[in-house]
Structure 1
């Protein structure tokens, strides 16, 4: 029985170890390299760790990008009738998703257009003034 490296051994487990071996009932997983005895995992340790670090770095970068985006998107309370909001306004739903005001009405983020946003709209984001980038 071989013990393969796994970044997250407590998860349901991958079907394939990072070394390429398919995991079966006769395999164990560990995130502790001192417990890993798979020769392929040990041979590819530097590559496996570099890949893991690159994936983690990409996740952190994506989280930073999302945080920057959320900072730029200034939400405000609904303060007027829906018909008075300019085209490009987003109306945010309480449980996620949004409507976008278009010339034809309020388009839900998954595609359908309605005369007004739903009753669960809790805030709006006005479009940026012309010439101002987001």
Structure 2
């Protein structure tokens, strides 16, 4: 148990070192929104929350959450997302929808585990 906690602390420290800003810069917000809108059923209804931006090497990542209308026309609740940028252009991104994206979210957004993702630094 102690080893797992030390690993979590180590991962958290590494993430904190990479974190650029808890307030995501406007240019990264503008570039992230269209990328995520393409993944939604009703892109025009999207409401975004941005948690933070981080950098590792020449890759910048933006993490946040989006709420949009589902097929029934109701808002489905906030779903986490991440977008990665290289040289100012989006190169990858995903909504948290399954185990594969859940694992990538843990890696890209600095969460220590899947349960940690329910906590957000963004204001609702």
Structures share fold, TM-score greater than 0.5: no
Q: Which has the larger radius of gyration?
A: 1
| Larger RCO (CA within 8 A; separation ≥ 6) | 2
Flag the structure with higher strand content: 2
